Structure 1
Amino acid sequence: MACLNGTWKLVSVDNFEAYLEIIGVSSQNVPRALKLLTPENNISQEIEVNGENIRIKTNTPVASPEVKAVIDTEMETRALDGRETKAVYTIKDDQIIETISGPFDAVVVRRLDGDSMIMDMTSGEVTSTRRYEKV
């Protein structure tokens, strides 16, 4: 699983507004998220998978939350807008799969595509794709 280890810089985002709306981000916070959580703001993720442990730190202009999880163990976490959620991280076929439940349900899959990391965030019928390049 070491293939996803490292620091990844966000280079493109697709369908993010629709994803924010379906997961219930407030109408006041959607424009802010669309402005701040873009490639122009040097968004990055630091990923480390070590045995049964996963660490993901997301660096944004607003905050730099860090998740430390044990594979297949439910944990309490927060969405970037502060809402409390629960998440379970699993690894399957060289992918990190994050299953989120709480005020919304979503699945976030991090995987390699050539030299890029793709992060597909899906809730209901809506998927937003974020593409990262290794730093």
Structure 2
Amino acid sequence: DDALVVRVSFKVVGRAVVPVTAAFTAPEPRTVTMRITEGEGVGSVVETHATPLTPAGSGRPRTAVVEAVLATSDRPYFGAVRALAPLLRPAMRSAAGRLWRDDLAYAERRWRLRSTGRFPG
């Protein structure tokens, strides 16, 4: 039942952002779930799973990260907007790629700190 609840803004295009309130939980040791609780897309969920690919103690660890997204919207014409999806996909791929690079850089910094005893883990 523990959750970290924060206000976050998702960068959409250029300087445009969408502010939401999100609750982050860790239902399993290698799973993080983000549920939007207020703002655009209430009820949408992003679940991220990390699966070790190398055995413990084998040097630099490798991990596969899989993300599942369930997005919802109560906007009246959301279904009609789906027709624009092919035009929006390039921008969404770019934003997703940017987010993955940021997440990977963060994970690598934490790994370096933990592996050198400078961060509790």
- Shorter-chain TM range is 0.3 to 0.5
Decide which structure has greater helix share.
2
Higher relative contact order (CA 8 A, sep 6+): 1
TM-score (norm 1): 0.34
More strand per residue = 1
